[in-house]
Amino acid sequence: MDLEQLYLRLPTRLQNVVVSAQGYRIQRSRYGGAFQDQLAGYESRSSWDRERIIEYRDRRLQAFVRHAVETVPYYRDLFSRLNLTADDIRRLEDLEQLPVLTKQTVQQQVDRFRSEAYRGQSLQMHHTSGSTGAGLQFPVTLESQHEQWGVWWRYRRWHGLHRDEWCLYFGGRSVVPLSQRRPPYWRTNRPGRQLMFSAYHLSDQTIADYLAEMKRSGARWIHGYPSVVTFVAEQALRLGVKLPIRWITTGAESLLPHQKQIVRRAFGVSPIEHYGMAEGVANISECPHGGLHVDEDYAAVEFLPGTSGAARVIGTNFTNPAFPLLRYDVGDLATPSSDVCPCGRPGRLVACIDGRQEDCVVTRSGCRLGRLDHIFKDCVRVREAQIRQNQPGHVTIWIVTAEGYGRADEEALTREIVKRVGDDLTFEIEHVDSIPRTRSGKLRFVVSNLSAEAA
């Protein structure tokens, strides 16, 4: 039995203790060490002008490329093959001399991307499934994690949100056993000041319990996946429940315009938009004027023209020297803008983030499940995946497997799916050679062919 299964068998009271203990551990690792200094550094750079921030970015990029070429086997070989030296990359535009790096290449040669400078050190591993559903595990330095949380708290603080604020959290973690049929559908993380709600129990039938608890808590901040927060907003409108919400932050999926509208109508505030990912190759934050600014001091971000109007987001993660990614294709699309934001912050603007527009799938009893890409987080031998739904309560999962995929992988995958979707959704796994892309070249993770009514 793994720890998660053990946790799910505990009584609710003890689950709260475990959630808080875990919350304490996370608080210490995220916000210890250099976090405060990082945050202070980021905040001071908010008021720099464009020229100064670009110079700062390019200086970091230069040093980072040098580090990559000197200590990372993949880049040592790449630069020698291209007849380049680290000195050839001095600014963002110089990166064009390097090929775009796909996630597939990183997956296939993952050890060759590790910096020799960190050999023998025990580093935390991060997992990502990203928009394409392909799993990747990579090492991150403690400093890079503090820096990531520094840049994430910068934009929150622009909006007056502080770390001591209690949060109503609607994320992807399964904190409540799927078999549980009665409230509470939430657990309390005291040190992290979070009420963690289960996204997997949300339905027309259970929503009143959720809303009552949200109201009772008095918390003013909602954080979660846009699809889940939108569902809660729709239901609050339907039931006429008013909550004293001041901030809504979202992550993991892009926030669609109609979702923004519903959330605004239900809670009276606009969700603060933000774009980032575990690999740390790009970060985009919304300012109080509604401008979406590239965080130039956090990563070197390029926008490559795509086939439709939107551009591909290509990024270089100069904050994590343990696993350098130069010109990494995130698999997301964004529309750059040449507008100037009245706020005066120095980062380039994007008009919108077009990627990760994942749909939900609908279970037999009408619950909506989002962010199912968690299923594939640890499936390193699944190259691509797509969840296809033609009728409520059933999905077909297409996978493209990598070399070495075997029965143990399929069993682990099946277990993971059952854990996430419970017995309210049947599924089949189909092996395919490739997955068709959308017109804009995007691999969609969920393709839902349900009628608007069924969805």
Binding site for Zn ion (CB under 5 A): 287, 289, 291, 341, 343, 345
Least distance to Zn ion from the beta carbon of 283, Å? 15
Quote the CA–CA distance of 330 and 103 in Å, as a whole number: 8
Quote the CA–CA distance of 349 and 346 in Å, as a whole number: 9
The DSSP bridge partners found for residue 386 are 398
CB 91 within 8 A of CB 61: yes
CB 293 within 8 A of CB 347: yes
Quote the CA–CA distance of 349 and 27 in Å, as a whole number: 32
Nearer to Zn ion, 78 or 349 (CB): 349
DSSP one-letter string for 264-285? HHHHSSPPBPEE--TT-S--EE
Nearer to Zn ion, 86 or 269 (CB): 269
DSSP one-letter code for 139: E
Nearer to Zn ion, 28 or 289 (CB): 289
Please return the burial class of 163, using the count of CB atoms within 10 Å of its CB with bins 0-12, 13-18 and 19+. Answer: middle
DSSP one-letter code for 341: -
Nearer to Zn ion, 175 or 287 (CB): 287
Nearer to Zn ion, 348 or 444 (CB): 348
Nearer to Zn ion, 52 or 173 (CB): 52
Least distance to Zn ion from the beta carbon of 286, Å? 8
In terms of DSSP bridges, do strands 311-316 and 300-305 run parallel, antiparallel, or are they unpaired?
antiparallel
In terms of DSSP bridges, do strands 284-286 and 292-294 run parallel, antiparallel, or are they unpaired?
antiparallel
